[in-house]
Structure 1
Amino acid sequence: MTLRPAGWAPAVVVCAGAVAAFLWCGVSARDLGVFCAYLGLGVALPGTLLWRALAGGGRSIAEDVAAGLAFGYAVEVLAYLPARAVGAPLLVLVPSAGVVCAFVCVPRLRRHWRGAPVKERLPAWCAWALAGVVAYLIVWSTLFLYRVPVESAYVDMPYHLALVGEVKHHLPPALPTVVGERLSYHWFVYAEMAATSWVTGVEPATLVYRLSTLPMTAAMVVLVALLGRRLGGRWGAGAAAVGVTYFLFGPALQENVVFSTRSMFTAWASPTQTFGALLFAPVVLLLAERRRAWAATGVLLLALTGAKATFLPLLLAGLAVVAAVRGTVERRVRAEWVVPAGMALVCLLVAQVVLFGRGAQGTAVEPLALLRKLPVADDAVPLLAVVYLFCLACVWGGVAGLGRRALEPPMLLVLGIGAAGVGAAFVLGHPADSQLYFLESARPYLSIAAVCGVSALPWPVVLMGAAAALAASFVVVPGDALAGLVLPYLVLGVGAALVWRRGIVLVVALLAGYAVPTSVREVAGHVLPIEEGPGPLIPAGALEAGRWLRDHSAPGDVVATDLHCRPVAGYACDSRHFWVSAFSERRVLVEGWAYAESTLSRAVGSYLQVPFANQARLKANDALFARPSAGKARRLARRHGVRWLFTGINPELGKVARLRFQNATTSVYELVTE
């Protein structure tokens, strides 16, 4: 197979830009080199070989590499779990090495090094378009994460880092910020980062704050385009699907009331979502192409159980829609839908019972919970639900143009996934509005269906209608009455449907045009230079102290601290305080409890206002720091195994513990209990 150098130019340019960005933001050449080497040879290469062997490969090299990377991640995580469990994490390399050796030594497998004959090539214009999207995401990440000091980064980043440290040293994992608390959370992405850290020696902080999520994000862009190409019939549909997925936002109808259409700008803010989305996309691709690659599907679904189980019920819903509709039409239910549905159901049960211990992390059936939090009367909530649906239609209204195509099995699958995502956002409630992750998970598949619907409509009419709506949306200024903003466009759409034979065309065009101004503002806002914030919320010496403690303690040591609350105005205690555990890679008796199952399960309203579940433990912990005594120190050591104290500058602790480390902001003491 001959590769045209020009076909690789977009990928080379993007990779060069990413390398430049990482080096500029402080990643060492050594770390970047070993990370890329491991990702390429230890994850992507064996994953691509297995994808070709088990799934039949793809129609293009782009598909093989993107889907192969996802498959490689799945194999890596599933290999790391037993390796970590037996205390030899470097055994994670054995499956990758075994795969490569097998495909070198076994004659029947050697053909997969070349891959199947390329059935289609990614057009140059499409390759550059996808490269532009990835480049945009690199610029956004550079501005808002890569160049931001660790001490000033997004509030949840220390939490992600703490979980990497936990999975790096313990299996099964627990919540590292509250000793004894079960980790009822999606944690396989942290296992992936932990495995990478063990193999490469790269600091977990460098992986979490810089390197790990970008390859996942880039591969997801390619897979969305490929799936759009399959269902839409041409590469233009694939590129448009990526554009809608990442860059089309619902209209901001009022300054302080935003009906989120849940963009995918959570690449690093939610690595679990990014990882789960990447593992899920090849599953949908296999099912949409009706490939009976059960082994490949099973591996990906098994990895999804702990990566982001959000996707499993969405898949079940999509398969149920296909089985119900096609079963009615064909008067039989095919195995190609029943078998994956059974596999997904088993994996969902395993995730809920084994991994999450039947914990729900505060998620409950609570219809319209998101809207009830708005400052409106209860009788206005149904109207707000209609307005919210209107906002969603502005992004995905193109689905209305599908016509009879909506009955095709692949389209039924993505429509079922999309409907389940929207339904979950409306029916479920969560203290932190995490039910919106269902909508975000369904976003690529709704976008693909919408693009396929629009592609079936006459383009001149679509463009004219969108231009008219765009002009009107600039004229209408957001005010206090939400209905007053929405009704003019609804009237236009209904009128078009009544008087024009192709009314659906204008309706779709008007909806899309109404979303454009908000989309332009949002897309521009993600790459505009940010203003300097209020300064770091983590002390400058915290990272140094945490790493000292990590290097001078054992993974099983327990740390006590009196640092529980972030210094944020408006809250008595914002308990999203996770950096002690994050920087030290050690379990803490009580640090931040905001994301503990015992907190979220008790939340009514804001979870940040929920006090710690075990007040007796918290008081005993804090009493040692406030009024140190030998008796208090002995009790913490004997009851909870505490060996280290991590705090600010507190000379009184010298009475009961030995000072081992101190800088301008932070002290580390070792308990002396003899």
Structure 2
Amino acid sequence: MLHRLVPPVMTAAVLVTAIAVAAASHTPGTDIAKQVAYVVLGVLAPGTIVHRSLRGPRTTWVADLALGAATGLALELAAWAVFTALHLQQALWAWPVLTLPLLLVRGTRRRILARPTQSWGPWAGVALGLACMLMVLLVYRGYMVDYPLPPAGAPYYPDLMWHMGLVHEATRSVPLLTPQSIADGTLRYHWFSNAHIAASSMMTGSDVAVVFLRLWVLPIVVLVVLLTAVLAHRVSGRPWVGALAGWFVVPTLGYTFWPGLLNASNHLNPLSPSQVFSTVLALLLVITLVDLVRADGRPAAGTLAVAAIAALATSGSKSSALPVVLGGVGVAFLAALVLRRNRLLLIGSGVVLAVLTAIAFAFVAGGDAGSGYQLFSALSLFSPYREIVTARPNLGAPVLDGLVHTPGVGPVLLVALVLIALLTYGRLLAGFIPFFQRALRTDLAAWLLSGLCLAPFLPFFVIAHGGYSQFYFVFGAIPFGSALWAWSIGELVGDSRTRARAAAATFAVVGVLTAVAAVALPGRVRPVGRAAQAAQLWTFVGQVAVCAVVLLAILVAALVLRRRGRDWLMPVAACAVVAPLLVTGSVGLLRLHSKAPTTSNPHLLSQDLAAAWIEGHVPLYDVMATNDHCLSGTGTTCNAREWWISGLGGRRVLLEGWAYLPGAAAHKGYDDPALYALNQAAFTRPDASTLGAVRDRGVRWLVADTQAGAVSPALSSLTTKVFQSGTVSVYKLR
């Protein structure tokens, strides 16, 4: 009886938690209700119908619904593209109805309505539900409380405004144009996450800001946890291994023994919608590939169809996503050459993924502007390098400067920085497990996951990017490392109660020690002087070396005991490595503090109010011009990340912020001085000729901010002022 109650009770608990945090973030109740209905009827139901019609029921309801929801997200992208291209966006809510005819076919209906053959069991189900609830609370404390709904006069992380502009653009065009600089034409960026959020807004009727800042991310992060658990359950056959993987994927930081040194992984950070969204689609693709590489004989057509759907959706969700999967397929192919299984399948999969990657880079990948090659470039982001060498690293040299020749520090800096990287992304070290663990060595699925863990380190250590986008390669692989660690522990524990008790005791002891260390140790250590900094690094390297020696001694002892018929010590060693992941998520929840300002900024409030007026009064397809481009500085080389008109206002702009335009990265600033001069002249030296020239470029409205620069008094006589709030005024061209 208990195992039947756990799924609905935990589902209700996760749903109530999500609703509670949304309500606590001042989200309107009607929008919450519409979002719940949208997720169930607009994503989960049609996706599950299609996935089950193609592949039949999975082993558990968790797998069915998680894979169905991920499939629904992929299909929604196709529906959005078709409806938007036909200018039928307002009817997008009806696309799930198109999947209902599948229920009319008797054989298909039987597959869709069949009951799963297994259940997760009460304890695994409760553990997985708690992991999902923790993930929701972390998003609330680490993101939602920091960014109030407008109008609030609060500062937003600039990229949020940029992404919100793309969401608005996705409500009116496919492919997306560049709303922050409409003259640049088609946007080159992986915008599928923005299309999903736009679809959510159009299907529910909720405002884009409400969906973007509050509602879209909660079901997505829960889905990441569930799909990671499904992957681990699928490869191991043990529900508790799936629940363990669900806990492993949640924390952003695993080892709190070295405060001030290790960075947060940010693999599920809502500040990067494309990263979070792409993780779901990549998990769907990899779970399907696992079934393909394990199959004997000809692969099932339905499984190939789901793989194709997932690959297409992943291709435009993040430029780093498919290359990571391609690396996993490559390693699996090398293993297949030795194991003599499914070689042609892996060759075909690799070719298809490579072609899709190339097409995506040409049309929707983007995000590579300003990328180059520099060995160890990523290490320059870590605090020891910034504090000891320089806060402004030279990313143009073949090798990062100062790693081994910094006076007073020497080569210990390079060793420490590499260790910091490996420990920060320690879940990816699971990629080495199949080389040593016999139970996994003959399974192509293990080698697929191994490649997914190890391949990201190549671009991570080789690519140089001003915005450190090479980190996204390792971010995207963390769910696969979590699943592989859990699978390894599951094989080590097996069905032995002795080994299970030893593993549980290790998790408990190390977990408690980690929690105590996280609470007791200071959050930031800043030694003063090169000698003190070098001493800190030597201490850190020494501590890691001691831990490595202890683990090695345990492994040697475990091998000796195994030969004597006692194999309980091997899972102890494995559990000791990843045990901190079980508690650092909860500890992180307690240590998070809101960064939201307590008072409203008058200038930002003026922008918010102007944006609200623009969204309510300016037609959706109209183009605006503004003199407000820069967060700081002036001219064509300023910090041009001001995007409140396209973001909060939701309208296209002739030239707003240009920081993320490909040409800006290549030219170290805006690359069209003639357009910039014309745009500025419309505000500083307006006359009939200048205003006529901007009108010829499609502009119908001007947004002037006297705080951004001088505005000619003549503008009021040549146009019609329709709105003013503080320093911000909106003019309509006559």
**Of 340, 343, 351, which aligns to 1:334?**
343
Structure 2 residue 170 is matched with structure 1 residue 167:
yes
**Of 656, 663, 666, which aligns to 1:591?**
656
Structure 2 residue 656 is matched with structure 1 residue 646:
no
| CA distance in 2 between partners of 1:492 and 1:33 (Å) | 50
For residues 513-542 of structure 1, give each alpha carbon's deviation from its aligned partner in whole angstroms, at most 9, with x where no partner exists. 78899767544334x555646755962132
Residue identity matched to 1:271: P
**Of 109, 118, 126, which aligns to 1:128?**
126
| CA distance in 2 between partners of 1:426 and 1:7 (Å) | 43
| CA distance in 1 between partners of 2:308 and 2:88 (Å) | 26
Residues 606-645 of structure 1 aligned to structure 2 (within 5 Å):
610-638=668-696, 640-645=697-702
Structure 2 residue 142 is matched with structure 1 residue 141:
no
For residues 258-313 of structure 1, give each alpha carbon's deviation from its aligned partner in whole angstroms, at most 9, with x where no partner exists. 455x24331x2111112111112122112223363111111111111212242211
Q: Sort the Cα spacing of 1:520 and 1:413 in 2 relative to 1 into closer, same or farther, 3 A.
A: same
| CA distance in 2 between partners of 1:73 and 1:513 (Å) | 33
Q: Sort the Cα spacing of 1:14 and 1:468 in 2 relative to 1 into closer, same or farther, 3 A.
A: closer
Q: Sort the Cα spacing of 1:26 and 1:630 in 2 relative to 1 into closer, same or farther, 3 A.
A: same
| CA distance in 2 between partners of 1:239 and 1:333 (Å) | 30
> Which stretch shifts more, 289-298 or 2-11?
2-11
CA contact 1:276–1:308 (8 Å) conserved in 2 = yes
Q: Sort the Cα spacing of 1:30 and 1:353 in 2 relative to 1 into closer, same or farther, 3 A.
A: same
For residues 448-505 of structure 1, give each alpha carbon's deviation from its aligned partner in whole angstroms, at most 9, with x where no partner exists. 2122333416563882994898699789996623232122331452366368433887
| CA distance in 2 between partners of 1:236 and 1:57 (Å) | 20
Residues 432-471 of structure 1 aligned to structure 2 (within 5 Å):
432-455=467-490, 456=492, 460=502, 463=506, 466=510
Secondary structure, in 3 states, of the residue corresponding to 2:610?
helix
| CA distance in 1 between partners of 2:129 and 2:576 (Å) | 29
State the match for 1:426 in structure 2: 461
Structure 1 residue 45: Cα displacement: 0.8
State the match for 2:542 in structure 1: 487
| CA distance in 2 between partners of 1:285 and 1:302 (Å) | 15
State the match for 1:408 in structure 2: 443
CA contact 1:253–1:485 (8 Å) conserved in 2 = no
| CA distance in 1 between partners of 2:482 and 2:192 (Å) | 27
| CA distance in 2 between partners of 1:505 and 1:47 (Å) | 38
Structure 1 residue 665: Cα displacement: 4.5
Q: Sort the Cα spacing of 1:110 and 1:452 in 2 relative to 1 into closer, same or farther, 3 A.
A: closer
State the match for 2:395 in structure 1: none
State the match for 1:605 in structure 2: none
| CA distance in 1 between partners of 2:71 and 2:54 (Å) | 10
Structure 2 residue 576 is matched with structure 1 residue 576:
no
| CA distance in 2 between partners of 1:530 and 1:302 (Å) | 38
Secondary structure, in 3 states, of the residue corresponding to 2:316?
helix
For residues 139-181 of structure 1, give each alpha carbon's deviation from its aligned partner in whole angstroms, at most 9, with x where no partner exists. 3333344443234343322111100111111222122111222
| CA distance in 1 between partners of 2:256 and 2:8 (Å) | 39
Residues 71-110 of structure 1 aligned to structure 2 (within 5 Å):
71-90=71-90, 92-93=92-93, 95-100=95-100, 102-110=101-109
Secondary structure, in 3 states, of the residue corresponding to 2:123?
helix
CA contact 2:176–2:187 (8 Å) conserved in 1 = yes
CA contact 1:10–1:128 (8 Å) conserved in 2 = yes
Q: Sort the Cα spacing of 1:538 and 1:513 in 2 relative to 1 into closer, same or farther, 3 A.
A: farther
Structure 1 residue 651: Cα displacement: 7.4
State the match for 1:351 in structure 2: 360
Residue identity matched to 1:349: A
CA contact 1:398–1:454 (8 Å) conserved in 2 = no
Secondary structure, in 3 states, of the residue corresponding to 2:176?
coil
Residues 259-270 of structure 1 aligned to structure 2 (within 5 Å):
259=263, 262-266=265-269, 268-270=270-272
| CA distance in 2 between partners of 1:360 and 1:19 (Å) | 37
Structure 1 residue 661: Cα displacement: 1.6
State the match for 1:386 in structure 2: 418
Query: What percentage of residue pairs aligned between the two structures are identical?
Result: 24
State the match for 2:237 in structure 1: 233
Residue identity matched to 1:662: Q
Structure 1 residue 187: Cα displacement: 0.7
Residue identity matched to 2:690: K
TM-score if structure 2 supplies the norm length? 0.81
State the match for 1:607 in structure 2: none
CA contact 1:466–1:512 (8 Å) conserved in 2 = no
State the match for 2:327 in structure 1: 317
CA contact 1:540–1:665 (8 Å) conserved in 2 = no
State the match for 1:213 in structure 2: 217
Secondary structure, in 3 states, of the residue corresponding to 2:250?
helix
State the match for 1:158 in structure 2: 161
For residues 22-49 of structure 1, give each alpha carbon's deviation from its aligned partner in whole angstroms, at most 9, with x where no partner exists. 2343333332233322332222111101
For residues 52-102 of structure 1, give each alpha carbon's deviation from its aligned partner in whole angstroms, at most 9, with x where no partner exists. 1112231111111111111111111112112212222245456521211x1
Structure 1 residue 419: Cα displacement: 0.6
Q: Sort the Cα spacing of 1:75 and 1:401 in 2 relative to 1 into closer, same or farther, 3 A.
A: closer
For residues 628-665 of structure 1, give each alpha carbon's deviation from its aligned partner in whole angstroms, at most 9, with x where no partner exists. 33333223223x22221112365722032110122334
| CA distance in 1 between partners of 2:211 and 2:26 (Å) | 12
CA contact 1:560–1:646 (8 Å) conserved in 2 = yes
Secondary structure, in 3 states, of the residue corresponding to 2:182?
coil
- Structure 2 stretches of 5 or more lacking a match? 390-401, 405-410, 494-498, 528-532, 560-569
> Which stretch shifts more, 533-542 or 301-310?
533-542
| CA distance in 2 between partners of 1:201 and 1:167 (Å) | 15
| CA distance in 1 between partners of 2:588 and 2:450 (Å) | 26
Residue identity matched to 2:63: E
Structure 1 residue 228: Cα displacement: 1.4
Structure 2 residue 332 is matched with structure 1 residue 300:
no
State the match for 1:43 in structure 2: 43
Structure 2 residue 557 is matched with structure 1 residue 501:
yes
State the match for 1:600 in structure 2: 665
CA contact 1:188–1:306 (8 Å) conserved in 2 = yes
CA contact 1:253–1:482 (8 Å) conserved in 2 = no
Structure 1 residue 446: Cα displacement: 1.0
Secondary structure, in 3 states, of the residue corresponding to 2:206?
coil
Residue identity matched to 2:698: G
State the match for 1:187 in structure 2: 191
State the Cα RMSD in Å: 3.4
Secondary structure, in 3 states, of the residue corresponding to 1:307?
coil
Structure 1 residue 51: Cα displacement: 0.6
Q: Sort the Cα spacing of 1:49 and 1:514 in 2 relative to 1 into closer, same or farther, 3 A.
A: closer
**Of 361, 370, 376, which aligns to 1:362?**
370
| CA distance in 1 between partners of 2:217 and 2:174 (Å) | 23
State the match for 2:730 in structure 1: 668
Count of aligned residue pairs for this structure pair: 655
CA contact 1:422–1:439 (8 Å) conserved in 2 = yes
State the match for 2:289 in structure 1: 287
| CA distance in 1 between partners of 2:202 and 2:422 (Å) | 48
> Which stretch shifts more, 548-557 or 412-421?
548-557
